[in-house]
Amino acid sequence: MTSVLLVVHILIALAMVGVVLIQRSEGGGLGIGGGTTGGFMTTRGTANLLTRTTAIMAALFMLTSLALAILATRSHVPAGGSILDVPAAPTAPSPPAAPSVPLAR
């Protein structure tokens, strides 16, 4: 479940980057989607579509982020416990103490 959600999360992130790069910015940028598209949509209509698409992608990105965070905490924290109760790393066993020799009688 987590791996499928992670793949969906990465695909949404890549799609969101693509949609943001297509948008025309005031400073120039790539501006690929800002021109005419052969009469299919006006420049304003394209801008509205890309803005809505960006908002939807951002919302999906946030939802998958929350879902991944919830799944990660449920799989690593014991029931009824806290994340502070889980040891950070397994500790190595300490070597046995050397035998002590009496120095004087």
Could you tell me the pTM of the whole model?
0.57
Reduced to 3 states, what is the DSSP secondary structure of residue 103?
A: coil
pLDDT greater at residue 14 or residue 34: 14
Best CA proximity match to 15, nearest among 80, 70, 60, 66 = 60
**Assigned token pair, 41:** 């949509």
**Residue with more model confidence, 59 or 23:** 59
Residues 17, 43: Cα–Cα separation, whole Å? 20
Residues with Cβ within 8 Å of 41's Cβ and at least 6 positions away in sequence, in order, are 49
Summarised one tens digit per residue, pLDDT across range 48-78 is: 888 899 999 999 999 999 999 998 887 665 5
For the chain, what are the domain ranges?
42-70
Nearest to 48 by CA among 59, 26, 27, 33: 33
* C-beta neighbour count of 70 within 10 angstroms: 10
